[in-house]
Amino acid sequence: MFATKFDYQKASSVSEAIQLLASNPGAKIIAGGHSLLPMMKLRLTSILMLIDIGGIEEMRGISVANGILRIGALTTHAEIADSHDVKDNAGILWETAYGIGDPQVRNRGTIGGNISHADPASDLPTVLKVMDAKFTIQGTGGIMRGGSRTVSADDFFLGPFETALGENEILTTIEMPVLAANQHAEYAKMAHPATSFAVVGAGIVVTVENNICTAARVAVGGFTPIPTRGPSVEQALVGKELNEENIVAATSLIHNDLGSDVFGDVFASAEYRQAMAAIELKHAIYHATGFAHHN
Amino acid sequence: MTTRIFGSGIRRREDPRLITGGATYTDDVQLPGMLYAAILRSPHAHAKINSVDTSAAAAAPGVVAIYTGADTDGVLNPIPCAWVPPGADLVAVAHPSIAKDVARYQGDAVAVVVAEDRYQAEDALELINVDYSPLPAVTNPEAAMQPGAPQLHEDAPNNQAFHWVAEGGDTDVAFEAADVIVKDKIIQQRLIPNAMEPRSAVASWTRATGELTLWSTSQNPHICRFLASLVTGIGEHKIRVIATEVGGGFGSKIPMYADEMIASFCSMQLGLPVKWTATRSEGFLSTIHGRDHVEYVEMAATREGKITAIRTKIYAGMGAYLSTAGPGVPTILHGLIYSGAYDIGATKADVYGVFSNTTPVDAYRGAGRPEATFLVERLVDLLAVELGIDPVELRRKNLIPKFEDGHDVASGITYDSGDYEPLLNMVLGQADYQALRQEQTRLQESGHYMGIGVTCYAEICGLGPSQVAGAVGFGGGLWESAIVRFHPTGKVNVYSGISPHGQGEETTFAQIISDELGVDVDDVSIVHGDTSNTPMGWGTYGSRTTAVGAAAMVLAARKIKEKARLLAAHLLEAAEADVEYVDGHFTVKGSPDQTKSIQELATMANVAWNLPEGMEPGLEASAFYDPPNFVYPFGTHLAVVDVDADNGHIVIRRYIAGDDCGPQINPMIVEGQVHGGVVQGIGQALWEGAVYNDDGQLITGSMVDYALPRAHLLPNMEVLSTETPSPHNPLGVKGIGETGAIASTVTVYNAVIDALRPLGITSLEMPLTPEKVWRAIRQQQGS
Amino acid sequence: MNIQLTVNGKVQEKDVDPRLLLVHFIRDDLGLTGTKIGCDTSQCGACVVSMDGKTVKSCTCLAVQANGSEITTIEGVSNNGELDPVQEAFWNNHGLQCGYCTSGMIITTMELLKKNANPSDDEIRDGLKGNICRCTGYQNIVKSIQAAAEVMRS
């Protein structure tokens, strides 16, 4: 409950934060702190310096332009869950943000912090993967000197708590294409009763034309080192009518896409979670297509 | 003041300070010069302690002192166990405050750091170097008794702490004669109480006077003082325990813990106040756990469904040491109420108390009675299936008929009063039981699994006659006492030995005294929780606070009334026999204007200008109440659940609690107790369970892994009641603090099994996680 | 590090260790002990305070992170001894027993009702995801919040 000693610096701009990172080996970025502080308090990690980026205004905000939804990395889950822009253009993200943790976690926790932490039990990585999101990362070069790069969600997550972020880099912006009228997206999860973390999470984006699925992006997470795309399921869905029989048949193929590295714990074993991946995918598609019917 | 306030759901007087942040709990206490203690705990479940090197820690910033088992050894006496069931060959192993040679569970105290602030104390803990030789560990109570199991205590071979048998009637004969026998193995999983307020102690020793003041998160400050005296060697007259505001307990704040005594030791060594407050993770390891039984249970019956006997063999985990009341829980509070709500000719409990490398086990809400009710109600459901009788009809057939003054059950105890069937009918009516059964059949046809659980219970609480306490090995009395005092202006203080910790008795006690003395409820204040200004009391647990504690107050109030009546007669110049009490006034019979209010008499008694000859000044009385019997609340609970066969998820659709705790002083508070108890019981059924790995590491060691009931997982409950007075105490009241937890676990469990019965599932281990349900379904579908 | 923040309308300036948690600052440095600590993993919500109008778990926030903010703790909820409708509703509806979770529950409720003046029972229960109560079974808390909502709507 009491962290070890550390130094603290508040950065007022992205470039200042990057400078601080570069000049203080072992320093860590803190935004809302909801990923990092619990670990520090339990002394599971000890950090020499915290660089607080919480006050950097340029990293906040939600906007939509040219078919792209842009979200600043410091935007909180609550701001996403309260945003009409997100609701109208990426309903899946809007609903997912509302289901993260609890109101207090949503008030402090940020989308960028969540992604950078890359907790396998988190919801957002799975959702951002099916939404084909791109992450803007800034490093020591500074944006004007070409120090910025873009990494897709598919390439960003490398393992549990491990991402493509380099030593002195900060995730600044999340972008994703807005959903088209014929695209339906949904995230379904089995939530842990204590934490609301994903025991199994399943995200889908399906494109439906004349009742036929013409494209699908599918991912599951919560029990794999990183969110796992489901190409077998995607292939089985495309070209099919989204009826119960086809949905059940397609989603049951998810086990083909899961590697051997599947997590289990005292609440839910790996075997169970694997089986539930198909179930949650099924729920997600049911909800998404139900939504489609009602429109 | 004419209306009776007994029975009125007035809002609680405790609340204004609690809703404004104005209450002072133990960790809120700040004293000048106070130091902070942090306790180093064994990371191993079982290890030899070779050496403890504190030199680096002692040099750390802010560190004032570090103590190890070598320092406390011989200075602090062992932590006592205060409940030794007779005839059980109980081995009272020594329980040192700080382990010196062997650590016996993960969390056993090994050293303590005292520093200027909490952060420094925590920093220094990391610098203490303990050389351990890990030893094999055992955590399951049945496994701990098997040959070859790791041994915890030299003086307790096979880890047997005690062996207790209680038989009433002849169970062997009944089982031989039975038409039908049903059996089960039940795991009453280990639970972690998790009162919201972590345990805390502020110890302040005054060297000049030799007095110790101890703020402690205790349900029973007077017992705490008594046991602190035994451990520290300081006389009780020089110990003051303060526990005025306590944030929930559920049994976990009954025991005397090592930690509080370590804080006291530190203060005594340093002559300065020392605070220790558990972090939540520390609490998971060092605050007692509950339940932890492995049970083999069976029931005998006739073909017609008459239950004739229950027999059990129980391995009850005690943890590494015997906690204060630990041994009493699976024995006296468990084995004597196997009859439940039924007329059963013979019952037998065969209980082994077992040491294991785990946190000590003690009373947790319901304490023994949820375990007993579970096995009885579980067996009744199994019997109903076996006989093809509706489980409600089977229960009805065996219910004890109405009785008003005593019913003997096989175990030898005598229930006080009961009328079980009306409540059963009321609950069934509220639920529309027949319609639910029809819906269940309909849903089954479309592949949906809905289940209904109905249970009847009778429990024993309101502990209890002190003579019985002595006979069953409880190391204290179980009476209560109170002082009721009128001040000169007619206001009243009640000094209560018993001290609530969230149950609202500051309000209900005031209601009782207001009625009894005919004074406005706002003119009565209850003082409790501080041993320096309250008379002796044995504590809030076992649903005894009102049945025993309030009874003592009522007796004191009645003494006062009699004195006031004599004074009124004197002042009114009437014959004593002609003065009667009505609604706060003493009036000469037939002369309504010849009257004195009790407040006037309070003034006159206090100024003492004109008292009858020989009457002492003042208007106050103390009384002791030792109940002649326990009380026996009863009820019927009903749950409706839906189970999703796809993923094993359980949703509680409806929960109806019907309870009879006798007359209700404050129905709002009664209902609140039912809600809380039911949800704790549901927690056991669905979510809660301590899990140790093979090395004895607690896997569920935080609120991240140990799932407590949360608002969004629960339905609104429906609460019903009847009122059958107990003939034993002056108010006729029973207890309501534990009934919910006693009934709800098995009610929900039975409902889930009922839902899954079409799939051939008859038994599951708690908590009923989705995976366990899903696995059972899959296994049945595969076979 | 020197920080300055407003707590219950009063400006507070202190030099603090960066690792000091906001909850310890509030309880130990300012002596506002109405905010409680019930866990160490951000699960229980006993420590919830309002920071710039939003509820936060003060055990999962450094005091230095709160620099420059406006904080309301339970002690700042009632106005000159006059209870807030939420406090009143908890009192009237037996929305508390031991009181230990109550500060966090009340602060959480105030934000919940600010965002949703007419919540369903399910919405209320969802809004309490971050607050654990071990005494009440939540039912009377939900009832209290409904009662407060009704008063505040009228």
Residue A207 belongs to domain with CATH number = 3.30.390.50
pLDDT of residue A202 exceeding 60, the answer is yes
In a domain, A1, yes or no: no
Q: How many CB atoms lie within 10 A of CB B133?
A: 11
Contact list, B139 vs chain A (CB under 8 Å): none
- CATH (domain of C124): 1.10.150.120
In C, residues 39-58, which contact B (CB 8 Å cutoff)?
39-41, 43-44, 46
In A, residues 6-45, which contact C (CB 8 Å cutoff)?
6-8, 10, 30, 33-34, 37-38, 40-42
Say yes or no: C72 and C104 in one domain.
no
Say yes or no: C8 and C45 in one domain.
yes
Per-residue confidence (pLDDT) for residue B686, from 0 to 100 = 98
Please give the residue that has the higher pLDDT: either A289 or A251: A251
pLDDT band for position A44 (50/70/90)? confident
Using CB atoms, pick whichever of C17, C54, C65 lies closest to residue A52.
C65
Q: How many CB atoms lie within 10 A of CB B477?
A: 18
- CATH (domain of A37): 3.30.43.10
CATH architecture of B290-463+629-782: 2-Layer Sandwich (3.30)
Total domains in the fold of chain C: 2
Spatial CB neighbours of B617, under 8 Å, sequence gap ≥ 6: B605, B606, B608, B611
Expressed in angstroms, the distance from the first to the final Cα of chain B is 72
pLDDT digits (tens, 9 = 90+) for B595-639: 999 999 999 999 999 999 999 999 999 999 999 999 999 999 999
Contact list, B276 vs chain C (CB under 8 Å): none
pLDDT digits (tens, 9 = 90+) for B639-649: 999 999 999 99
Question: Are residues C138 and B19, on separate chains, in Cβ contact within 8 Å?
Answer: no
Of the residues C76, C100, C130, which one is the last residue of a structural domain?
Answer: C76
The sheet carrying B200-206 orders its strands as B63-68, B109-115, B35-41, B274-277, B200-206, B211-216, B239-242
Using CB atoms, pick whichever of A41, A50, A104 lies closest to residue C55.
A104
pLDDT of residue A2 exceeding 90, the answer is no
Per-residue confidence (pLDDT) for residue A285, from 0 to 100 = 96
Contact list, C57 vs chain A (CB under 8 Å): 104-105, 108
Question: Are residues A34 and C42, on separate chains, in Cβ contact within 8 Å?
Answer: yes
Total domains in the fold of chain A: 3
Say yes or no: C90 and C72 in one domain.
no
pLDDT digits (tens, 9 = 90+) for B730-739: 999 999 999 9
The answer to whether B505 touches B10, Cβ cutoff 8 Å, is: no
- Backbone torsions φ then ψ of B718, nearest 5 degrees: -110, 130
- CATH (domain of C66): 3.10.20.30
In B, residues 722-781, which contact C (CB 8 Å cutoff)?
740
pLDDT of residue B1 exceeding 50, the answer is no
Say yes or no: A12 and A73 in one domain.
no
pLDDT band for position B306 (50/70/90)? very high
Average pLDDT for residues B73-96, to the nearest whole number? 96
- Backbone torsions φ then ψ of B613, nearest 5 degrees: -60, 130
Contact list, A50 vs chain C (CB under 8 Å): 18, 62
Chains that touch A (3 or more CB pairs under 8 A): B, C
Give the DSSP H or E segment for B354.
strand B346-355
pLDDT of residue A143 exceeding 60, the answer is no
The DSSP secondary-structure symbol of B550 reads I
Per-residue confidence (pLDDT) for residue A292, from 0 to 100 = 43
In B, residues 321-360, which contact C (CB 8 Å cutoff)?
none
Name the residue range of residue A19's domain.
7-52
Per-residue confidence (pLDDT) for residue C93, from 0 to 100 = 98
Contact list, C140 vs chain B (CB under 8 Å): 671-672, 675
**Chain A nearest CA to C151, separation (Å):** 23
pLDDT of residue A146 exceeding 70, the answer is no
Interface confidence (ipTM) of the complex: 0.98
Spatial CB neighbours of B779, under 8 Å, sequence gap ≥ 6: none
For A193, name the nearest residue in chain C, comparing CA atoms only: C129
In a domain, A89, yes or no: yes
Question: Are residues C56 and A38, on separate chains, in Cβ contact within 8 Å?
Answer: no
For C61, name the nearest residue in chain A, comparing CA atoms only: A33
Write down the domain spans for chain B: 31-135+198-248+253-277, 290-463+629-782, 479-625
Q: Is A104 on the interface with C (CB under 8 A)?
A: yes
Contact list, C57 vs chain B (CB under 8 Å): none
pLDDT digits (tens, 9 = 90+) for A82-129: 999 999 999 999 999 999 999 999 999 999 999 999 999 999 999 999
Say yes or no: A102 and A167 in one domain.
yes
Choose among B79, B114, B541: nearest CA to B322.
B79
Question: Are residues B774 and A42, on separate chains, in Cβ contact within 8 Å?
Answer: no
Spatial CB neighbours of B781, under 8 Å, sequence gap ≥ 6: B759
- Rounded CA-CA distance C36/B197 in Å is 8
The CATH code of domain B479-625 reads 3.30.365.10
Say yes or no: C49 and C96 in one domain.
no
The answer to whether A20 touches A51, Cβ cutoff 8 Å, is: yes
Question: Are residues B770 and A190, on separate chains, in Cβ contact within 8 Å?
Answer: yes
The answer to whether C47 touches A35, Cβ cutoff 8 Å, is: no
Say yes or no: A115 and A12 in one domain.
no
Average pLDDT for residues B719-740, to the nearest whole number? 96
pLDDT of residue A295 exceeding 50, the answer is no
Q: Strand B591-597 relative to strand B414-415: parallel, antiparallel, unpaired? A: unpaired
Hey, of C37, C112, C129, which one would you mutate to test binding to chain A, going by the most A CBs within 10 A of its CB? Answer: C129
Name the residue range of residue C61's domain.
2-76
Say yes or no: C58 and C90 in one domain.
no
Hey, of C134, C143, C146, which one would you mutate to test binding to chain B, going by the most B CBs within 10 A of its CB? Answer: C134
In a domain, A113, yes or no: yes
For A195, name the nearest residue in chain C, comparing CA atoms only: C43
Say yes or no: C72 and C97 in one domain.
no
Say yes or no: C64 and C98 in one domain.
no
pLDDT digits (tens, 9 = 90+) for B466-494: 999 999 999 999 999 999 999 999 999 99
Choose among B280, B283, B270, B278: nearest CA to B31.
B270
Say yes or no: C114 and C69 in one domain.
no
B-C contacts (CB, under 8 Å): 176
Say yes or no: A83 and A97 in one domain.
yes
Using CB atoms, pick whichever of C18, C19, C129 lies closest to residue A102.
C129
pLDDT digits (tens, 9 = 90+) for B498-513: 999 999 999 999 999 9
Question: Are residues C62 and A34, on separate chains, in Cβ contact within 8 Å?
Answer: no
Contact list, C73 vs chain B (CB under 8 Å): 21
Q: B741 pairs with which residues across the strands?
A: none
Average pLDDT for residues A247-270, to the nearest whole number? 95
Say yes or no: C140 and C110 in one domain.
yes
**Chain C nearest CA to B746, separation (Å):** 17
In a domain, A2, yes or no: no
Hey, of A53, A79, A102, which one would you mutate to test binding to chain C, going by the most C CBs within 10 A of its CB? Answer: A102
Per-residue confidence (pLDDT) for residue B405, from 0 to 100 = 87
For A3, name the nearest residue in chain B, comparing CA atoms only: B119
Say which CATH class B31-135+198-248+253-277 falls into: alpha beta
Hey, of C20, C135, C140, which one would you mutate to test binding to chain B, going by the most B CBs within 10 A of its CB? Answer: C135
**Chain A nearest CA to B122, separation (Å):** 7
Question: Are residues B501 and C98, on separate chains, in Cβ contact within 8 Å?
Answer: yes
Of the residues A138, A158, A177, which one is the last residue of a structural domain?
Answer: A177
Q: How many CB atoms lie within 10 A of CB B646?
A: 16
Of the residues C76, C109, C129, which one is the last residue of a structural domain?
Answer: C76
Per-residue confidence (pLDDT) for residue A142, from 0 to 100 = 52
Mean pLDDT of chain B: 97
The DSSP secondary-structure symbol of C84 reads P
Question: Are residues B25 and C100, on separate chains, in Cβ contact within 8 Å?
Answer: yes
Per-residue confidence (pLDDT) for residue A141, from 0 to 100 = 62
Contact list, A195 vs chain C (CB under 8 Å): 43
Question: Are residues C96 and B30, on separate chains, in Cβ contact within 8 Å?
Answer: no
Per-residue confidence (pLDDT) for residue B2, from 0 to 100 = 52
Q: How many CB atoms lie within 10 A of CB C118?
A: 11
Question: Are residues A272 and B707, on separate chains, in Cβ contact within 8 Å?
Answer: no
Question: Are residues A78 and C59, on separate chains, in Cβ contact within 8 Å?
Answer: no
Question: Are residues A103 and C111, on separate chains, in Cβ contact within 8 Å?
Answer: yes
- pTM attached to this predicted model: 0.97
In C, residues 20-39, which contact B (CB 8 Å cutoff)?
20, 24, 27-28, 31-39
pLDDT digits (tens, 9 = 90+) for B551-564: 999 999 999 999 99
Average pLDDT for residues A157-182, to the nearest whole number? 96
Expressed in angstroms, the distance from the first to the final Cα of chain C is 46
pLDDT of residue B713 exceeding 70, the answer is yes
Task: Identify each DSSP E strand in chain A by its residue range.
Answer: 7-10, 27-30, 49-52, 62-65, 68-72, 134-138, 148-152, 157-159, 162-163, 170-177, 183-191, 198-209, 212-221, 228-229
Hey, of A195, A248, A267, which one would you mutate to test binding to chain B, going by the most B CBs within 10 A of its CB? Answer: A267
Question: Are residues B713 and A193, on separate chains, in Cβ contact within 8 Å?
Answer: yes
Q: Is B782 on the interface with A (CB under 8 A)?
A: no
Contact list, C36 vs chain B (CB under 8 Å): 25, 196-197, 247
Say whether B479-625 and B290-463+629-782 share the same fold.
yes
Say yes or no: A48 and A61 in one domain.
no
pLDDT > 90 in chain A, percent: 87
pLDDT of residue A294 exceeding 50, the answer is no
